[in-house]
Chains A and B, each alone.
Chain A
């Protein structure tokens, strides 16, 4: 069972990396994801993107990591 947990944790780490790279690439393009001039695939007018449970987990981990960074920097 422990190996499955380790594997799951490793997969989560991969997911987190992919998530951060896709976010960074979106920010680099500079195009607005909303509005009529946005590319059709990214057009956010129809539906707001729903966050999955994994996204929620990644957000929680990010929050705790921020606190850890603050602690390490002595803030």
Chain B
């Protein structure tokens, strides 16, 4: 509940978007690319750029879903005033397919992002509770096990350690005077 309240407080007030000067924001001006064709022409050359594809493959290897990458890519361009949000949604399948092509070339098995639909059946709150319970169980286990482990570790260490006399500590400049051989 507390989190929800914060979100509501952070939300823009009605009419806030109209407080800025007209045309002062990129998304309040006419878009550079009005159609899907123009947007595709804008995006496709990116996939022939080695730096871009290298970073893309890195993200795919990290398990970032392709839908998320497509969303970030298109949303940033909406903010820059390159195209509308409608074109962003329309062009995203093309971007996902192009990313899959890049993944095939690089030999990476990407996460598409449709797999995350599996979690939609689980309520968000129950998922949070499950995670919290798991975390608490883990910490209590750790607390119970820690002293026993430490004791056993100490005992093992003492058994493994040879007596100080056998370690050759007597030799050298730092050895006690009487024991130097």
Contacts and interface: CB of A to CB of B under 8 A. Distances in A.
Contact of A71 (B37, B90, B105): B105
A20 B97 CA distance: 17
A57 B40 CA distance: 9
Interface residues of B, number: 29
Given A8-B89, A57-B91, A71 B117 contact: no
A6 B97 contact: no
B92 A5 contact: yes
Interface residues of A, number: 23
Contacts of A23: none
A32 to B, nearest CB: 30
Given A57-B36, A60-B40, A6 B114 contact: yes
Contacts of B114: 6, 9-10
Interface of B: 35-37, 40, 65, 67-68, 70-71, 75, 89-94, 96-98, 100-101, 104-105, 112-114, 116-117, 120
Top 9 nearest A-B pairs (CB, nearest first) are: A64-B97, A5-B71, A60-B94, A12-B93, A61-B97, A8-B89, A5-B67, A6-B67, A53-B36
23 contacts: A2-B67, A2-B68, A3-B120, A4-B89, A5-B70, A5-B89, A6-B67, A6-B113, A9-B67, A9-B93, A9-B96, A12-B93, A53-B90, A56-B36, A56-B37, A57-B36, A60-B94, A61-B93, A61-B94, A61-B97, A64-B100, A68-B97, A71-B104
